[in-house]
Amino acid sequence: MNSMLFSPVTLGPLQLSNRIAIAPMCQYSAVDGLPTDWHTIHLGNLALSGAGLLIIEATAVTPEGRISYADLGLWSDDHADALQPVIRAMRRYSPIKIAVQLAHAGRKASTDVPWDGGAQIAPGQPCGWQTVAPSALAHAEGEAPPLALDTEGLARIRGGFVDAARRAHALGLDAIELHGAHGYLMHQFLSPLSNTRDDDYGGSLENRMRFPLEIFEAVRASVPQEMAVGMRISATDWVEGGWDLEQSVRLAHALKERGCDFIHVSTGGLSPLQTIPVGPGYQIDFAERIKRETAMPTIGVGLITEAKQAESILQQGQADMIGLARAMLYDPRWPWHAAAELGDQVFAPPQYWRSQPRQYKELFGSMRAG
């Protein structure tokens, strides 16, 4: 092995063969939260990519927690039973480690699918429902406001995360990522722009962190220590007066104290007022700061598209793993091509061994036994 990208890494109890993570990507292809043939094709394809870790898309822990009516769910045993054959197929043909991102969309729920516009669907309309959030503040002008969660609602959602986590463990998944990013429910509690509560869950930073930390603690306690549990966060809202990097560092320390195995650092998604300076690797500085101050295993993301770019980020100590999303959809063999470029080796199923170009004849060599 010559590169850092293809060197092993550990996320708590989870041992990974390389540092490429396929970030969760919503497919908007479920029916009543149940996976379809699309998930078998899509996830099976990515499982053959050679990446070290595959994180299944945002998976709702309650029906109203879906972003859209076509989102994946894990709020019942029927959902787990339907997902089991998909997991079994990936396990049969690939050694890739598999995680699931457990999520609740909060006020950003009840939307149409992106290719039909992605707009919010109002309560009472076909495929629409009443959303919930920390406070009765709509995400965008003209949208139906959410209901502010009461004590019973908080307990119900917390329990939904716990039940979904137990199902994920029963499915034999290797890790759970809690979705605390992109303006969804846990992020809504964190940001003062969306959380104006005056009880124990609003106001001070400690209060705004309380519900996400309660969810983390409950999930961590509900599955064995051998199962890795981490969180994805948005390190900044990109809006003045909102959630920012300093608060994210405080959250990361609090998560680490509670046994968090990794943190997946993204940004934005909470407010339509965000102004994001998009460019190659534009979110890596946030991951670097959190990694430096907490020493927690960190996944960095954000327009990372080139093998040498990914390798440089790792070599400079800016992140421990590289998360790829759109780049993996565009090129599902990205890890193969990166290994070839960096002079390293990667897993491929034996059915594909004869595909390597002559100049890369050792690309799959040492992985054949695995």
DSSP letter for each residue of 296-335: --EEE-SS---HHHHHHHHHTTS-SEEEESHHHHH-TTHH
What is the residue type of 269? G
Q: Which residues pair with 11 in a beta bridge?
A: 14
CA triplet 43, 45, 47: central angle to 5 degrees?
65
93 is known as an active-site residue: no
- Residue 264 is encoded by which pair of tokens? 């997946």
Residue type, 22: I
Burial class (CB in 10 A: 0-12, 13-18, 19+), 88: exposed
Which is catalytic among the residues 28, 69, 93, 184? Answer: 184
Question: Beta strand pairing status for 97-103 and 175-180?
Answer: parallel
What CA–CA distance (Å, rounded) separates 106 from 110? Answer: 9
Tokens of 21: 């993570």
Helix axes 77-93, 37-47, angle to 10 degrees: 40
Separation CA 335–CA 324 (nearest Å): 10
The catalytic residue positions are 184
